[in-house]
A and B are shown apart, each in its own frame.
Chain A
Amino acid sequence: MQTIEAPPQTATPSIERAPRWARWFVWSFLAAFAVCGVVGIEAWPLTGFRLFSHLRHERQTEWQAFAVRPDGRETRLRLSRFPGGYNGFPLVMKSFSSRPQEERVDMCRAWTVAASGLEGETVAVRIYTIDRRLEPRRGGRPTTGPRRTLTYTCAKATVKSEGAISAAG
């Protein structure tokens, strides 16, 4: 597996120098690439390459959405399986609390409309925080079940922050 030929020992004759535009192009591109990589700027496709760079812990938190049917029943909304770009649900929830109220209402409306259209009439969407402990374990699974906390309720063009209602899931 040869990778790169060694550079010639003798200096490249000036007549064979790469054109000026090529030098500018290469150095500008490499400089932008290195600055984004070192500083962590996300000017995609230039990126800071933060892949699994933050520490994970034994306690983990995730988000789950549930549709509330007219009879009050709750069913899990697998938004990641919906067509049309709903698979970012757990990602956008990370910054949901910091979004302006108007934006949160719009997001809630989008989920409610999708739930009604794809899974039957939905009067509200409840968003839960799921806390899991990864240890202790038995049989390949944690021995303690996840703890579910109702965090937001989307209904009638409003978003209500909950927070205190929790239950073992």
Chain B
Amino acid sequence: MRRVEAWLFAPGSPRRLAAVRIGLASLLAIRLSRGIYLKLAGQPPALFRPLSFMHVLSSMPSRHVVLVAQVIGIASALLAVIGLRARLTLPLAWGCAVLLNGMATSIGKVVHNDVLLILCLVPLLPARTSDVWSMDALFARHGQVSRDTRQSDSGIAYGWPLRTALVVATGAYFFTGLAKLAFSGPAWVLSGNLRWVLYAASDARGTPNLLALFVADRPWLAHLVALSTLVVELGFPVMLWRARAAWFLVPGAVALHAAIWVTLGLDYFPWAATVLILFVDWPLLVERARVRTRTRALREPVPA
């Protein structure tokens, strides 16, 4: 337990955390700008099926409430992207997202499309995510707040928010795989389960889905895809102690969500994007790109 705590609360990079803030807040702004929330507003109360905290409401919020929540949510998320008062704007955007997605999950089914993004944002809410690459940092540099004061506990404050988000992301995939095993057992892979899922999705469309049919018509391929899905989901936590596993698992997760979108028409883009934002070291990539550009410039022959 001490080793886990030492890992979880080890120092981290303020730039990496800022990159995650920029990525996740941008994703949140994109998701909040969808029209589905306004479509749900004004639903007859008889059809309202609240889940969790939505039980405090007797029906879906009105169009006015939804519109206000959407405008505040998007504006706050964009302010968090540029790092303006991120400790206030990010929680505000998150609160709006929880309300709006709470509506989406109150129609009779638990909706998971945005749940990974929302959960991975939780550790960032109270964290110092805007000490670099932000308007807050820009203002701080111009006087009022001394830079030395802000960086007095640099390192420690930037590690745990990202690592907690990584634990949540890996846990989400692991629990998704675990639920499959718990409710269906090995039959999730060994039976025709995935074939029936794909056939049903294809039959529900006006024109057959050729990729879904390609997999479903070949039982061996359907078993292989099902097995690969479970391997990716259950294997996700391995990345926490074997960083190299990310080279297989991150593309695996992105491919999984892309395949789900193409064959079943289900939009799990936020899961794929969240994984890419969290598990790729963006500041390192930017730095490498800069070095490569500089090296190339130095190699260029000097005109005589």
In the complex, which of the residues B13, B43, B110, B213 contacts A140, with contact meaning CB atoms closer than 8 Å?
A: B213
Known: A3-B279, A5-B12, A34-B171. A85 touches B60 (CB 8 A): yes
Chain A nearest CB from B6 CB (Å) reads 6
Contact B168 A33 (CB under 8 A): yes
**Interface residue count on the A side (C-beta < 8 Å):** 67
A 19-44 binary contact with B (CB < 8 Å = 1; else 0): 00111011001100110011010111
User: A72 an interface residue at 8 Å Cβ cutoff?
Assistant: no
Bound CA–CA A25/B127 (angstroms):
11
Question: Which residues of B4-18 are within 8 A (CB) of A?
Answer: 5-13
Q: Is the interface of A mostly helix, strand, loop or mixed?
A: loop
Contact A29 B183 (CB under 8 A): no
Contact B184 A85 (CB under 8 A): no
User: A132 an interface residue at 8 Å Cβ cutoff?
Assistant: yes
Query: Chain B interface residue count: which class?
Result: 35 or more
Bound CA–CA A42/B39 (angstroms):
24
Known: A2-B281, A49-B172, A53-B182. A18 touches B203 (CB 8 A): no
**Residues of B contacting A86 in the complex (Cβ-Cβ under 8 angstroms):** 43, 47
Contact B183 A50 (CB under 8 A): yes
Contact B39 A45 (CB under 8 A): no
User: A118 an interface residue at 8 Å Cβ cutoff?
Assistant: no
**Residues of A contacting B122 in the complex (Cβ-Cβ under 8 angstroms):** 29
User: B88 an interface residue at 8 Å Cβ cutoff?
Assistant: no
Contact B193 A45 (CB under 8 A): no
In the complex, which of the residues A46, A110, A134 contacts B44, with contact meaning CB atoms closer than 8 Å?
A: A110
Question: Which residues of A39-85 are within 8 A (CB) of B?
Answer: 40, 42-58, 60, 83-85
In the complex, which of the residues A29, A49, A95, A140 contacts B112, with contact meaning CB atoms closer than 8 Å?
A: A49
Contact A91 B107 (CB under 8 A): yes
User: B40 an interface residue at 8 Å Cβ cutoff?
Assistant: yes
- Highest count of chain B CB atoms <10 Å: which of A23, A42, A52, A113: A52
Contact A29 B156 (CB under 8 A): no
In the complex, which of the residues B46, B105, B280 contacts A103, with contact meaning CB atoms closer than 8 Å?
A: B46
Question: Which residues does A use to contact B, with CB under 8 Å?
Answer: 1-8, 11-12, 16-18, 21-23, 25-26, 29-30, 33-34, 37-38, 40, 42-58, 60, 83-88, 91-92, 94-95, 103, 106-107, 109-110, 113-114, 132, 134-135, 137, 140-142
Question: Which residues does B use to contact A, with CB under 8 Å?
Answer: 3, 5-13, 39-49, 51-54, 60, 98, 101-102, 105, 107-110, 112, 115, 118-119, 122-123, 126, 153, 155-157, 159-160, 163-164, 166-168, 171-172, 174-176, 178-180, 182-184, 187-188, 191-193, 195-197, 199-200, 202-203, 208, 210, 213, 239-240, 243, 246-247, 250, 279-281, 284
- Across the A-B interface, the 7 shortest Cβ-Cβ residue pairs: A85-B43, A91-B108, A88-B107, A140-B208, A37-B175, A106-B46, A110-B44
12 A-B contacts, Cβ less than 8 Å apart? A2-B284, A3-B246, A4-B239, A11-B6, A44-B110, A47-B110, A55-B188, A85-B43, A85-B44, A110-B47, A134-B200, A142-B199
